[in-house]
Amino acid sequence: VVPGPLLGRHVVVTSGPTHEPIDPVRYIANRSSGAQGTAIAASLRDLGAKVSFITGPATVPPPDGVDVIRVETARQMRDAVEAALPADAAVMAAAVADWRVINAVDRKIKKDGSDNPPALEMTENPDILSWVSGLEQGRPALVVGFAAETHDVIENATAKRGRKGCDWIVANDVSPETGIMGGDENAVTLIRPDGVEAWPRMGKDAVARRLAEAIAGALE
Ligand code: C5P
């Protein structure tokens, strides 16, 4: 084992989508693959960190050498983050569903022959990033959030940093013409309290390495 700059540090990473059940066989989901979160967890591990990798049902496999905690729903993800604390840093890369179905049922909903499809009633999910950023006791020293935007990326992401109370925001432009959503590359802007840094377009692995190095530098 090569001693890395994050040796002895614990980092919590959330990744992937969440699934919000409608009934035992149906759910609401989103298109997150978990690729960027997985790459970040691997890079943090490579720098020596102990990583708690809390993942929704992603399409890419989790990295080796991290503590994998599998969850389905946003509420399970929140509880898993709470159970994984304390941590030196938290990187919230998951695409958490904003809403869940409150009238979910534990038996399969059947077509009843009438013309009335079931009406889904939704309520807001807990915002895990805001919650962890606002912890009065046991807040990680560094909390990193993500912002996927299609326009006014820096302006929207800077506002999000303030609203959520996190330290850094990794902003990316997910306009369809960028091909970033679901692709292998990413073009991100790192927003920190002391400035904004636009990184050139590069592979998601390279973004992860650079972010892990920045995290190591901040925790030094
Ligand atoms: O508000 P929005 O979903 O755009 O914020 C994105 C950031 O917030 C990401 O870091 C995401 O992981 C986090 N988030 C969260 N819990 C939610 C919604 C978003 O942790 N319920």
Rounded to an integer, what distance in angstroms lies between the CA atom of residue 71 and that of residue 1? 30
Q: Is 172 near ligand 1, meaning CB less than 6 Å away?
A: no
Ligand 1 nearest atom to the CA of residue 132, by list position: 20
Sorted by where each starts, the structural domains of the chain and their CATH numbers stand as 10-106+118-219 (3.40.50.10300)
Please name the residue ranges forming H helices in the chain. 35-46, 74-84, 128-133, 153-164, 204-219
For ligand 1, the distance from its centroid to the CA atom of residue 127, given in whole angstroms, is: 6
Task: Give residue-wise pLDDT tens across range 12-47.
Answer: 999 999 999 999 999 999 989 999 999 999 999 999
Mean pLDDT score of the chain, rounded to an integer?
95
Q: What are residue 50's phi and psi, to 5 degrees?
A: -85, 120
Task: Give residue-wise pLDDT tens across range 86-104.
Answer: 999 999 999 999 999 999 9
Report strand pairing: 168-173 vs 142-149: parallel
Annotation says 103 is catalytic: no
Burial letters for 102-130: b for 16+ Cβ neighbours within 10 Å, e otherwise? Answer: eebeeeeeeeeeeeeeeeeeeeebebbbe
User: At a CB cut-off of 8 Å and minimum separation 6, what does 21 contact?
Assistant: 27, 72, 73, 101, 104
Q: Is 167 near ligand 1, meaning CB less than 6 Å away?
A: no
pLDDT given for residue 90 in this prediction? 99
pLDDT given for residue 2 in this prediction? 58
Ligand 1 nearest atom to the CA of residue 129, by list position: 20
Cis peptide before 5 (omega within 30 of 0): no
The residue with tokens 């330290």 is: 167
Supply the ipTM of this predicted assembly: 0.97
Q: Is 180 near ligand 1, meaning CB less than 6 Å away?
A: no
- Asked whether the beta carbons of 10 and 219 are under 8 A apart, the reply is no
Rounded to an integer, what distance in angstroms lies between the CA atom of residue 56 and that of residue 22? 17
For ligand 1, the distance from its centroid to the CA atom of residue 118, given in whole angstroms, is: 28
Could you tell me the two tokens for 187? 């073009």
Task: Give residue-wise pLDDT tens across range 118-170.
Answer: 999 999 999 999 999 999 999 999 999 999 999 999 999 999 999 999 999 99
Residue 78 scores a pLDDT above 80: yes
pLDDT given for residue 3 in this prediction? 73
Ligand 1 nearest atom to the CA of residue 126, by list position: 21
pLDDT given for residue 158 in this prediction? 97
Report strand pairing: 188-192 vs 168-173: antiparallel
Q: Is 146 near ligand 1, meaning CB less than 6 Å away?
A: yes
pLDDT given for residue 183 in this prediction? 79
Binding residues for CTP: 98, 108, 126-129, 146, 160, 164
For ligand 1, the distance from its centroid to the CA atom of residue 112, given in whole angstroms, is: 37
Residue 181 scores a pLDDT above 80: no
